[in-house]
Structure 1
Amino acid sequence: MEKTKDLLIDTCLLAGKIMMESGSEVYRVEDTMNRIAENANEPNSKSYVTATGIFMGLKSSRYTQIENVGERNINLEKVEAVNQLSRKFAEKSVDLPKLYQQLKIIDKETPEFPLILQVLSAAFLSAFLMILFGGHWINFIPTLFIGGFGFFIKHEVKQHFDLRFFDIFISSFLIGILALLFTRTGLALSFDYMCIGAVMPLVPGVAITASLRDILAGHLVSGLVRGTEAIIVAASIAIGIACVLSIFGGLFP
């Protein structure tokens, strides 16, 4: 009986950890964990989720377990996969041990879109947003290149340097350099619009939205932590572009 309860708590913590690290809102994580416990005949479960840690306990058990939340990314495919497994568990399509094993597979093996597809998506997003913000069509190809290159650099820097926000700073700095080069060589017209469009794939829009939803749902700690993190990311983008303006300001017409 105790082993079953231990497995249930481990399963709930793993599900919550996957969802929090993948960008889910706190209220959704707590709801999923409590539903898993309720469907395992433990209706009086208690969960407390923050941006950096998850607490889970059962009324019928004498202790509470804690799970650390590592680096937070945006991977809504993992969130959806955990929700689907939770529904299958509620329908009795899978039992608790199989649910735990499937969650471990999702944590390690859920596929992401290929890097080339992500880069192309960021490139076209940058170019079309530049047009949407009022830029000229002559800037389309340069912004397409700069946006894709900036996103690729962000990915590569993140793979090689375990330093948060450094990848955002480097990619935004290089975006500013490339926008300046295109402007000075006459291949593009507007440094401002190209920079605005190219940095948009780096902007933490989902994190800001999740932060506001957490705050409105009453999860003030997690909401403020996520909001602060989003502000630091935005500041890293601004500092990267500002460094280009400061260092190479004399090259601007």
Structure 2
Amino acid sequence: MNLKNVVEIATTIGEMLLSSGAEIYRVEESMSRIAKSYGYEFESFVMPTGFSATAKNIKGEVITCVKRIKNRTVDLHRIEYLNDLSRRIESDKPGYEEVLKEIEKINNIPYFKYWLRILSSGLVALSFTLLFNGNIIDAIIAFIITCAIYITKNSISKLGFFQFLEYFISGFLAAMLSLILKNFIYSIHVDKVIIGSIMILVPGIAMTNAIKDALYGDIISSFARFGEALFIAAAVGAGVGFALTLGIGWVIG
């Protein structure tokens, strides 16, 4: 496989890994393994929002590629498949066309159905509400509110608004709906319902990846991910706080 094809494959897999929420070290290691398995020198510098990569052959020819990652999500299922593909490329050294077919197959793997994602989000809220000593009514209310939050958040994301607004509105919705329902169902505990409802918004994977990046020596990337996680947490907190400020005096009082 020639240098250009190898760079294309390595950077495409790297881009897919990074946009799926993979750790920085995993992205760098996967691209490096692919290039070196075909006998090319490879160096990369990866950040959460993009990367640059350079490959060199024995003749001294050099190709550099820079990619900007605009859309990022968390898709552990896709990361698993891409990780497995990079290891198979390293061990079996398949041809260019074969690898492209595998990449296309992974890229077209269907995501979980929309209704199933909504249901799963609700079950997460229900479980955490019970975990934080909420009663069954609190858990059911949190289930309903979280389903509404997921639908709203997904709709805002599709419209292309910035991330702060997406999480701010989600946090605001969780608190405001809890306060409104408190007027009709007096036995619910607003604090337990809010805690359960916002659990799907907590940036747990971002925090975990930030710590893992730091442990692997990627300090700049670690700070970037940690900052992003704090930004998300602040947006959710601001939304909840704003709703409580309005709601305590207006809805309850």
Cα shift at 1:120: 0.6
Within 2, Cα distance between the matches of 1:188 and 1:32? 53
Distance 1:77 1:134 in 2: 32
Residue 213 of structure 1: aligned partner = 212
Other structure's SS at 1:248 match: helix
**TM-score where L is the length of structure 2:** 0.92
- Map 1:72-111 to 2 at 5 A: 72-92=72-92, 94-107=94-107, 109-111=108-110
Partner secondary structure for residue 62 of structure 2: coil
Stretch deviating more after TM superposition (197-206 or 47-56): 47-56
Whole-angstrom CA distance in 2 between matches of 1:188 and 1:233: 31
- Relative to structure 1, the CA distance from residue 113 to residue 187 in structure 2 (aligned partners, 3 Å threshold; closer, same or farther) is farther
Cα offset for 1:93?
A: 6.8
Mind listing any 5+ residue stretches in structure 2 that lack a counterpart? none
RMSD: 1.8
Give the aligned length: 249
1:196 is aligned with what amino acid? I
Given the alignment of the two structures, is residue 46 of structure 1 paired with residue 43 of structure 2, yes or no? yes
Shift of 1:11: 1.1
Alignment partner of 1:31 is 2:29: yes
* More off after superposition, 9-18 vs 49-58: 49-58
Give the equivalent residue in structure 2 for 1:192.
191
Q: Equivalents in 1 of 2:103, 2:222: separation in Å?
A: 26
C-alpha change, 1:101 and 1:209, in structure 2 (3 Å) is same
Within 1, Cα distance between the matches of 2:106 and 2:217?
29
Report the TM-score when normalising by structure 1. 0.92
**Contact in 2 for aligned 1:151/1:202 (Cα 8 Å):** no
Residue 193 to residue 40, structure 1, CA distance change in 2 (3 Å): same
How far 1:185 sits from its partner (Å)?
A: 1.1
- Kept in 1, the 8 Å contact 2:35–2:42? The answer is yes
- Distance 1:179-1:9 versus aligned 2 partners, 3 A rule: same
List per-residue Cα deviations over 1:85-111 (Å, max 9, x = no partner): 22332332732332134324534x231
Q: Percent identity?
A: 28
Q: Give 5+ residue unaligned stretches, structure 1.
A: none
User: What does residue 6 of structure 1 align with?
Assistant: 4
SS of the counterpart of 2:163?
coil
Report the alpha carbon displacement of residue 30 of structure 1 after superposing the two structures with TM: 0.9
